[in-house]
Structure 1
């Protein structure tokens, strides 16, 4: 019985190590006060306010050039759906306007650069 427990403990330990290696041993931290998700080594940081939306992107901690990029956000708040286009604004993508956001708003991001695109999902707090 103790051998089985030892094998299970070793399996759990190596599984945790593999997960940590895949996650690069870090949790993405917000640098601009937003919500961060990491998808395929790219960190997406979304700052969602009732009057503005901002999206910052980092590749292994280094800012991604967004000067030729765009993003489309789909906001799902309770029964409301809103689509928002983001355009380059310095080191981020941004939109100004009136946005329906609340706790538990789900946000789907479609990020596009010439030759590639990616998606990320957020749940606002």
Structure 2
């Protein structure tokens, strides 16, 4: 019983942590996705045809993603999927493989920019 309670508490804590950044700073989706803010930067996660794209902006200005690397971790219930994020031109990073994003999924984009600055953006897919 105690083990089940700890799992429930961990789930509640993760849900609160993941949902806390959505629409921070009044950012609104520009590409039909969900928005998260981390390190004063805005990230929009867009799911189209199973592929995920992350748009990166700093105070409304596009951030060049050339030379960046990243990983998108998607949690669907107890299923965990990890896919690589690669620069896709301009201010975008995209997956080549199916990201398995679905309504209710939680996702974390771990991005390291060319200047070695690392950022984690958390998303709750609606």
Is the partner of 2:26 in helix, strand or coil?
Answer: coil
Take 1:31 and 1:99, find their aligned partners in 2: how far apart are those partners? Answer: 20
Could you tell me whether the CA contact under 8 Å between 1:50 and 1:100 is conserved in 2? no
Kindly state the Cα deviation for residue 50 of structure 1 after the two structures are TM-superposed: 4.7
8 Å CA contact retained: 2:73, 2:107: yes
Say if 1:44 and 1:57, in contact at 8 Å, map to a contact too: yes
Considering fraction of residues, name the structure with more strand: 1
TM-score normalised according to structure 1 size: 0.74
Distance 1:118 1:49 in 2: 23
Q: In the alignment, what sits opposite 1:121?
A: 122
User: 2 CA distance for matches of 1:65 and 1:29?
Assistant: 20
1:12 aligns with: none
- Residue matched to 2:106: 106
Task: Give unpaired runs (5+ residues) of structure 2.
Answer: 1-23
Could you tell me whether the CA contact under 8 Å between 1:50 and 1:99 is conserved in 2? no
Please report how far the alpha carbon of residue 95 of structure 1 lies from its aligned counterpart in structure 2 after TM superposition: 1.2
- Matched ranges for 1:66-77 at <5 A: 66-77=65-76
**Equivalent residue, structure 2, for 1:47:** 46
Residue ranges of structure 1 left out of the alignment (5+ in a row): 1-22
Larger-gyration structure (1/2): 1
Structure 1 segment 1-40 matched on structure 2, within 5 A: 26-40=25-39
Q: TM-score, normalised by structure 2?
A: 0.74
Which protein has greater RCO, CA pairs closer than 8 Å, 6+ apart? 2
Give the RMSD, CA atoms, in angstroms: 1.5
